[in-house]
Structure 1
Amino acid sequence: MVDIYGIKNCDTMKKAFHWLDENNIEYTFHDYKKEGVNETQAKQWLEELGWENIINKRGTTWRKLDDKTKDTMNNELALQTIQDQPSIIKRPLLIKNNEIILGFKPSDYQAIFQ
């Protein structure tokens, strides 16, 4: 089974859902907007990949943060920010066999699911 995390209306999420559906991959979707982010899981993601990879610095959520928060960002502050504003997490975040895959590229998904 595969878990995919994100926001339902995100265009990149829609592409990932479409790819998974077209390739008959079963998955469980976790919607940040409805379910929030589990603190234990978020800590694990941050420890494994670091805040620099988990947080989407290109998105509007990051740009709306005050400069002090951006300048002092670390895993601890990122954990709080993620829980307060889960849309700051790069999407999709896919977990397959305990491996975390960030973002969506058809070629990457093809390699992962072969």
Structure 2
Amino acid sequence: MIMYGIKNCDTCRKALKWLEAEGISCQFHDMRGDGLPPEELAQWLDSIDRAILVNKRGTTYRQLDEAAKAALDGDDPSAEIIAQPTLLKRPIFAHKGTYLVGFKEPEKETLRKWGA
């Protein structure tokens, strides 16, 4: 399993601690520090509803100009997201071609199943 996130994101840090406490192994990929692979982002955009994937409540989104916001709602928002990975909700978990966004109780249940 791979967890994509930002290393100084509180939710990502909580998720990593929780995974360790649960004994679930996970590789962490820092989207800001390590970059965001375009091919991985393309799979997310094909598999995950954009309303779930893009964090429109975050500071990064709110600071965008109208053209950038329109690009996120357009056919291919990849360039904008790669330039500013904090536009994505975090964490994003990848496991055997399946993706999970966020870290609340329903996601924890799925992560337990993936880790079993």
Normalising to structure 1: TM-score of the pair?
0.89
Aligned length: 112
> Percentage identity across aligned positions?
35
Aligned to 1:96: 95
Please give the per-residue CA displacement for 1:44-87, whole angstroms capped at 9, x wherever unaligned: 100111433211111111011102322352240x2111110011
Q: Alpha carbon RMSD of aligned pairs, Å?
A: 1.5
Q: C-alpha displacement at 1:108, in angstroms?
A: 2.6
In the alignment, the residues of structure 2 paired with residue 83 and residue 41 of structure 1 have an alpha-carbon distance, to the nearest angstrom, of 11
Q: Are 1:63 and 2:62 matched, yes or no?
A: yes
Which ranges of 4 or more aligned residues in structure 1 deviate by more than 6 Å? none
SS class of match (2:103) = coil
- The question of whether the paired residues in 2 share the 8 Å contact of 1:90 and 1:102 is answered with yes
SS class of match (2:8) = coil
Normalising to structure 2: TM-score of the pair?
0.87
- The question of whether the paired residues in 2 share the 8 Å contact of 1:19 and 1:106 is answered with no
Q: Which amino acid aligns with 2:41?
A: A
- The question of whether the paired residues in 1 share the 8 Å contact of 2:68 and 2:80 is answered with no
Residues 108 and 53 of structure 1: CA distance in aligned 2, closer, same or farther (over 3 Å)? closer
Give unpaired runs (5+ residues) of structure 2.
none
Alignment of 1:21-40 (within 5 A): 21-40=20-39
Give unpaired runs (5+ residues) of structure 1.
none
